[in-house]
Amino acid sequence: MPERDVTVGQLLLSEYQTLKDEQKTRIGFRDNLLYVTLTVVAAVIAAAAQARQPAMLLALPPVCVVLGWTYLVNDQKISAIGAYVRAELAPRLAALARAEGGEVFRWEAAHRRDARRLSRKIVQCVVDLLAFCVVPSSALVVFWAGGDVPAGLVAVSVLEAAAVTGLGVCVVQYAVPFGAGDADG
């Protein structure tokens, strides 16, 4: 039985499928990070309230920063895959297939032209800021307002505030100008 040669088109389609599988996995992981964050926030707040220990709220900023950063990194990778498919794979496959209009994988670009895309991206930015930055910042405010707080914990809380602020800046920088680097998969 003769061996079959693998064509460039087959290789490109295989690469496309592999990238789409990775993108799908990353989307699921990224989206679950919001649920994990909500669960952790609820658990920490409940434990702090039950124990009447505002210092326990200091657990929220580092957890939210780690989860938020992981969310942001996965979101960026999802976008990078989409951009690569649109800019690299699609044109090469279109040329090989002599596609009419030079287009393949039209969905990769079509969903980005949605009339409500900008408002969706703004709302997502607000949700990300609320989940990963506003909630831990609120925990810090409650801790600071709690009265007699040890100097060591104040120092820790200031560092946490800086980390949360840094994450907030990254979230906004990534979202603006809602252009080429954004994630719509």
**What CA–CA distance (Å, rounded) separates 114 from 121?**
11
C-alpha to C-alpha distance for 122 and 63, rounded to whole angstroms: 24
Percentage above 70 pLDDT, the chain:
92
Question: Does the pTM exceed 0.75?
Answer: yes
In tens, the pLDDT along 78-93 reads 999 999 999 899 889 8
Extents of the domains making up the chain? 8-175
142 contacts 54 by C-beta, under 8 angstroms: yes
